[in-house]
Each structure stands twice: as structure tokens, then as C-alpha cells.
Amino acid sequence: MKIYNEIDLYRYNTMKLHSIARIMYEPENVDELLAIFRKLKKEGTAFYLLSAGSNIVFGARIERPIVYLMSFNTNMSFGEDGTLECGASVRIQSLLEKMKEFSLGGIEYLASVPSSVGGAVYMNAGRGRKMKRSISDYIESVRYLDVADMQIKNIYGNDGYLYRTSPFQSLNTVILSARFKFVKQDVDITNRLIKERLVYSQRYLSADKPSCGSVFCLMNPVIMRLLRGTGYGGAIFSKKTSNWISNIDNAKVGDIEVLIGKAIRWHKVFFSKYKVEIRFFR
């Protein structure tokens, strides 16, 4: 297990914020993962789980221990029943490559998302709300550590998933792996769909500057459109993409909070519903 003290999290978050974590653990297999959670549980210490860091805004300093989950389970195996078991630490792009080996498809729209499989399951990553497509469409089961009793358990099926919501968001759990049943698909079609997604992402999303993707998962689109180009400190609501904050000049967590606060105030003025999608680790 790797242990980092006073580490700058710059390379661990896609918003590219400088943040100092007092301590970060990087378990390199499931046994090490269990050992670290046993220790934290025994001490009664609260912790943060970090995967690819593409949906997290870090505070300037983080006292709570962070458990970094990108190394403990990178396994992928294809079962005789046509399912693909995939470790939580696997990057979505590696999963897509593996799917091609078995002529499987279905989640090409995630090709532009800098996510881990664990993070994608936790966030139920997918397309925009109207598209009604997300990674949970293909979930057969998810294996997880229940930190409450330190038992490894499974959730079968995909009933508890909604738009950008998974059952794990209300549980104290660590996703270990997921078993997917993807659709049979010719590799040429998969390659074409991936290419189309990357072109779309380049054309319509502000992926050229550090960001966390969409800020809100429930919002008033008119308000978000009007906020385009509004900046504070080193952060700005993208001029190109609604509901998207970019780090354009060494932004700080406070800059991002001010922008989100401004959007929330406008939602309150117009009695519009909102829900912030980005997670804050402070």
C-alpha cells in the first residue's frame, strides 16, 4: 500500500486544483483495501473515497484521510454467460477497449468521460437527462464493501438507479467491481460511435480547460444559459457549454463556490428546482 503525506492533489482531479491532503492511502489490492478500512473504522475516522477525480472539487486543505481507489482492482474478465466483470479501478476507456475484444457495445457515449468504473457506477454516469441512457442500463450486479459491518456484498439488478443517482450514494460503501451485460456489437460500429462521441465532445463541450463536467444534475436550463461567461477569480461558467465551470486561471475552491452560489440564488429567485452534481471534499 502506498501512503502519501501532505500530498498536492493537483494530478488527482480533473479541475486541476491545488489542494493539500494530510494523508492519502492507495491500496494496491483488495486485501490492502480491507486492511485500511478496518483501521479507519476501528479509529472511528471519517474518510473520503477518490477515484479518477472527475467529479470532485477539493478544498485548499483536506484533513480527512483520502482512500485513492485507482489501483486496488484493475481486473476485467469475460464470463461464459456473456457478462463482463470489471474492477472499480478500471478506466472507462480501458473498459471500452476490452469490450471491443468481445464485440460488445452500449456505452460508447462515455468515451469522452474521464471516469473510473467505480466512479461511473457511483454517479450512474451517462448521457443528458433527456437521452435516458446511463451505465446502469447494463449493470447485472455490483460487488461492494459495506463499511458498516465490513462485509463484502452484492446488489443485483439495476432497479435503484435514477438519473445521475445510484443506491451507493446513500450507503457507506466502497464499490469493488461491477458485472455488466453489454449488447453484441460489431467493432466497426463501436469504433464509429466512439469517434462520433469524441467529435461531439470536442465541438460542444468545454473539455479544453480543466473542469468537472456538468455542475448541476437538476437545473433550470434558461438560468444556466444566462450564466454562461460569468466568471469569478480563476473560474468561469463556460461560454460554450451551459452548466459547466472551467478553471481558466489557477482557480480556487472559493471561486467555484461563488459561481455555484450565484446559480443557486437565481434558481431560488425563480423557484426553480436544482441539485448540485459535483462533490466537494473539504
Residues annotated as catalytic are 164, 214, 277
CA atoms of 168 and 175, how far apart (whole Å): 8
In order of 16, 201, 230, the CA distances from 195 in angstroms are 26, 10, 31
Beta carbon of residue 114, minimum distance to ligand FAD (angstroms, whole number)? 5
Asked whether position 174 contacts ligand FAD by CB under 6 A, the answer is: yes
Q: How far is the CB of 242 from ligand FAD (least distance, A)?
A: 13
Contact 4, 26 (CB under 8 A): yes
As a whole number of angstroms, the distance between CA 87 and CA 169 comes to 19
- Of 17 and 212, which CB lies nearer to ligand FAD in the complex structure? 212
Residue 21 or 49 having the CB closest to ligand FAD: 49
- Which residues inside 90-119 make contact with ligand FAD, applying CB under 6 A? 112-116, 118-119
**Which three three-digit cell numbers place residue 224?**
444556466
Asked if 212 interacts with ligand FAD (CB under 6 A), we say yes
- Chain positions 19 to 78 lying near ligand FAD, rule: CB under 6 A, are 49-56, 69
CB of 141 closer than 8 Å to CB of 179: yes
Least distance from C-beta 143 to ligand FAD, angstroms? 11
Cα–Cα distances in angstroms (integers) from residue 116 to residues 26, 40, 70, 163, 199, in the given order: 15, 23, 8, 18, 21
Considering the complex, state which of residue 103 and residue 198 has its C-beta at the smaller distance from ligand FAD: 198
Q: Is residue 223 close enough to count as binding ligand FAD by CB under 6 A? A: no
Least distance (Å) between residue 269 CB and ligand FAD:
27
Distance CA 124, CA 58 (A): 21
Inter-CA distances, 99 with 20, 92, 183, 273, Å: 37, 10, 10, 38
Q: Which is nearer to ligand FAD, 32 or 82 (CB)?
A: 32
Say whether residue 9 binds ligand FAD (CB under 6 A). no
User: Which residues in this chain contact ligand FAD in the complex, by CB under 6 A?
Assistant: 14, 49-56, 69, 88, 112-116, 118-120, 122-123, 125-126, 164, 168, 174-175, 207, 211-213, 279
